[in-house]
Amino acid sequence: MSEDAPFFEPIEGQDDRKPSFELYIKASTIDYASKGSCPICQQWFMLAYLLAEKQSVSFRVYTVLSSSPPKTFSEKLQGKNPSQYPVVIGLGGEDSNGQTLINRIADEIDEVEQFFEEVNPYFRDFKRNTPDNLNALHHFQDLSKKFNAYLQGNDTDGVKLTNYLKVLDQHLCKLETKFLCGNSLSYADCCLLPKLQHVRVAGDAFNNYMIPSEFSGIWKYLQNAYSVPAFVQTLPADRDIISHYIQKAVKKLVGAKSPHLLKLEPPTISVPMEYLQEEVVNTEEEEVINNGEEEEEEAKPNGENGDDQDQMPEPDEINTEVYQQQQELENDEGQENFTNGDNPDENSGTNE
């Protein structure tokens, strides 16, 4: 994202103590400018987005090729080349202890964690070390390990991965809320959702693996998340997620599945038809019960009485507004409006 088009920019006349910072995340290794596939970068991008929605912080996002960081970025870090991303650089405001954030740098994961703790004194849902978040994190702490083992051929038929997802699905089915800790996103959701998106997209690309449609808890959880801008607008393109696993996966991609041949399109943010059909049936059954009819009576189709307000939308109607928000971030060539602040031509031909 360029200097003159920040994702979030400070509001004129805002409290000088309000934290403001720059967030540097990994860039795509395909076009060197759009959002990269790093799930940890997306996790912190989501948290920054959520805090900005609460008017708690303001921030700008830049994408960086770790193998060729822009000159302005290196200068801010005094020539240091970080080994991990994201990187946070304070612009202004104060932390919860009243200390200035100007020129404060967080370029290690634990430092980034500490930075976000100190700029967020109010919203407990966005803090890692709360009972709800710690409990939620426990349910998927090995998901990435299981998925990598599957792609590397250590779980040939995917049984171990499927069994692990089944336990997660059972937990999600027991929840009475949309997300892990409530009806809005929490720290734990920002950790889980990028990982689930990787399983969904890369699993299908390399091994034709799909999260089983009967795992309704996972699919409902994803469907809820696909309607939240903080998740959708921070998602990398499918092709970048696929590219992320090329060196890890035993099965190599050929032909049209090669990420370098895929167009930059909006990320996959829909649920499978099997799940949508199940939801329609459930809605019809609830309508019958609410009308005082016998439970054994066959449910009437939506719209039979001229009322189709509860009818499940067609797949291409889902999240239309969110799609539009996502597309506003793209330029006329179909690439997202995220740049690293330098001339893209300087980095052309460079791979991460």
Please tell me the distance from the alpha carbon of residue 24 to that of residue 332, in angstroms, as a whole number: 24
Q: Which whole number is the average pLDDT over 134-153?
A: 96
Percent of the chain residues topping a pLDDT of 70 = 70
Angle between helices 216-225 and 187-207 (to 10 degrees): 110
Backbone phi, psi, residue 211, to 5°: -55, 125
Arithmetic mean of pLDDT, 301-317: 38
**What pLDDT does 314 receive?**
36
Span 319-338, average pLDDT: 41
**Mean local confidence (pLDDT), 120-144:** 96
State the helix-helix crossing angle for 39-53 and 109-118, rounded to 10 degrees.
10
For residues 297 and 68, the model is more confident at: 68
54 band by pLDDT with thresholds 50, 70 and 90: very high
CA distances from 318 to 205, 324, 327 (A): 23, 12, 15
Residue 326 CB coordination number (10 Å):
19
Per-residue pLDDT tens over the stretch 261-289? 676 677 999 887 667 554 433 434 444 34
For residues 159-164, average pLDDT:
97
> Is 106 a residue whose pLDDT tops 60?
yes
What CA–CA distance (Å, rounded) separates 51 from 7?
13
Round to whole Å and give the CA distance between 240 and 245: 9
Q: What confidence tier does 63 reach under pLDDT thresholds 50, 70, 90?
A: very high
Is 50 exceeded by the pLDDT of residue 97?
A: yes
Give the H or E element holding residue 20: strand 20-26
Place of tokens 């992320």: 244
Query: Using CA of residue 226, residue 333, residue 69, residue 238, what is the dihedral sign?
Result: positive
Query: Tell me, what's the pLDDT at 24?
Result: 95
In one-letter notation, the amino acid at residue 215 is F
pLDDT value of residue 259: 67
DSSP string, 237-295: PHHHHHHHTTTT-SSPP-GGG-GGGS---PPP----HHHHHHHHHHHHHHHHHHTT--T
CATH 3.40.30.10 placement within the chain: 1-122
Q: Is the pLDDT of residue 52 over 90?
A: yes
Query: Which residue would you say has higher pLDDT here, 11 or 209?
Result: 209
Cβ neighbours of residue 167 closer than 8 Å, sequence gap 6 or more: 139
Percent of the chain with pLDDT over 90: 55
Beta bridge partners of 89: 22, 105
- Name the CATH code of domain 127-275 (choices 3.30.1700.10, 1.10.110.30, 3.40.50.360, 1.20.1050.10): 1.20.1050.10
Averaged confidence pLDDT in the chain: 79
CB 96 within 8 A of CB 121: yes
Q: What is the pLDDT of residues 181-198, one digit of tens each?
A: 999 999 999 999 999 999
200, pLDDT greater than 80: yes
Mean pLDDT is lowest, of 168-172, 223-227, 229-233, 283-287, for 283-287
Q: DSSP class of residue 236? A: P
Average pLDDT of the segment spanning 86-109: 94
- Pull the structure tokens for residue 186: 């929490």
Kindly indicate the confidence band of residue 107, based on its pLDDT and cuts at 50, 70 and 90: very high
φ/ψ of 156, rounded to 5, equals -50, -50
Q: Give span(s): CATH 1.20.1050.10, the chain.
A: 127-275
- What's the CA gap between 187 and 50, in Å, rounded? 10
Q: What is the mean pLDDT of residues 98-120?
A: 95
Judge whether residue 308 has pLDDT over 50.
no
| pLDDT band, very low/low/confident/very high, at 146 (cuts 50, 70, 90) | very high
pLDDT at 221: 97
Q: At the topology level of CATH, where does 1-122 sit?
A: Glutaredoxin (3.40.30)
Check residue 254 and give its pLDDT.
Answer: 56
pLDDT for 161 equals: 97
